[in-house]
Amino acid sequence: MGENQWITITVMRTQGSAPRDAGTAMRVFADGQDGTIGGGALEWEATAIAHEMLANGKTDMQRVMPLGPDLGQCCGGTVTLGFQQGAAVGDATQPALWIWGAGHVGRAIAGVFAPFNDRPITLIDTTAARMPSNLPDGVAPLVAADPLLVVPHAPSNADHLVLTYSHDIDLALCDALLRRDFGSIGLIGSDTKWTRFRRRLTAMGHGNEQISRIACPIGDPALGKHPQAIALSVATAMLTTQSVKEERTG
């Protein structure tokens, strides 16, 4: 693997007592790490596995790890860890794109952007079963039982598209993203959904100007609701916005 690659370690499931909840994630690079899954022998062993994957090119695996004497821990529980390769696009010229939700629309959007090969793309969902088995090159899968726990791992200038299977998760993600730096946020949904979300985000303490940075609905309704149509219109809007920014700064 190249120097711009890493392994994301995610706590996918826990049984019994465990140092961190499902959804906790960290990244391991050849020369360091970002985040923690609880420290101690569990993290040491997981980091060693990640370094081995970086060395041998393995891109995806799961490991069930009992928290007992073998790891020098007395929690008595069991943790299932997911290990997934991530990589910065070598000639990336655009901000990272984080797609929250691997449903039909999320997959379609990833498929539209991947061939451009100019931005790292991360596709996030809550279970491995929801993740497509075949992803385009340049799209890194990230399984997180609690997506909110991986929000801090997104680059500060990343573009986010929020389109999960749950309105509650969508709202929680919007709240979490508004509390940190980001490039842009797009939210799938109707005008009615957005009116309700604006009201609830206001109650959560966000100002109108900040809330208005979320684009909702996304896509051109004139093109219909087919996932590919939504993906094409979303991509067109994002590419147009990026082009305008480049013209202004160029």
pLDDT of 23 strictly over 80: no
Please compute the mean of the pLDDT values over residues 123-128 and round it to a whole number.
88
Q: Are the C-beta atoms of residues 121 and 140 closer than 8 Å to each other?
A: yes
Confidence of residue 162 (pLDDT cuts 50, 70, 90): very high
Whole-number Å distance between alpha carbons of 40 and 19: 9
Q: At 151, list the tokens.
A: 């929000």
Give the model's pLDDT for residue 72.
Answer: 46
pLDDT of 2 strictly over 70: no
Greater model confidence, 233 or 20: 233
Give the model's pLDDT for residue 89.
Answer: 54
Domain boundaries, the chain: 5-86, 90-249
How far is residue 158 from each of residues 21, 73, 185, 194, measured CA to CA in Å?
A: 25, 37, 9, 22
Give the model's pLDDT for residue 71.
Answer: 45
Whole-number Å distance between alpha carbons of 81 and 241: 38
Percent of the chain with pLDDT over 90: 42
- Give the tens place of pLDDT for each residue, 30-83: 888 887 888 888 899 999 999 999 999 887 788 888 876 554 444 557 888 988
Q: At 221, list the tokens.
A: 């309704």
Give the model's pLDDT for residue 187.
Answer: 97
Average pLDDT, the chain: 86
Please compute the mean of the pLDDT values over residues 133-141 and round it to a whole number.
81
Q: Are the C-beta atoms of residues 217 and 207 closer than 8 Å to each other?
A: no
Task: Quote the CATH superfamily of domain 90-249.
Answer: NAD(P)-binding Rossmann-like Domain (3.40.50.720)
Please compute the mean of the pLDDT values over residues 24-35 and round it to a whole number.
83
Confidence of residue 1 (pLDDT cuts 50, 70, 90): very low
- Distance of alpha carbon 236 from the chain centroid: 21
> 3-state SS of the chain?
CCCCEEEEEEEEEEECCCCCCCCCEEEEECCEEEECCCCHHHHHHHHHHHHHHHHHCCCEEEEEEECCHHHCCCCCCEEEEEEEEEECCCCCCCCCEEEECCCHHHHHHHHHHHHHCCCCEEEEECCHHHCCCCCCCCEEEEECCCHHHHHHHCCCCCEEEECCCCHHHHHHHHHHHHCCCCCEEEECCCHHHHHHHHHHHHHCCCCHHHHCCEECCCCCHHHCCCHHHHHHHHHHHHHHHHHHHHHHHC
Give the model's pLDDT for residue 167.
Answer: 96
Give the model's pLDDT for residue 140.
Answer: 81
Confidence of residue 192 (pLDDT cuts 50, 70, 90): very high
Please compute the mean of the pLDDT values over residues 203-221 and round it to a whole number.
95
What are φ and ψ of residue 36, in 5° steps? -155, 150
Please compute the mean of the pLDDT values over residues 175-187 and round it to a whole number.
96
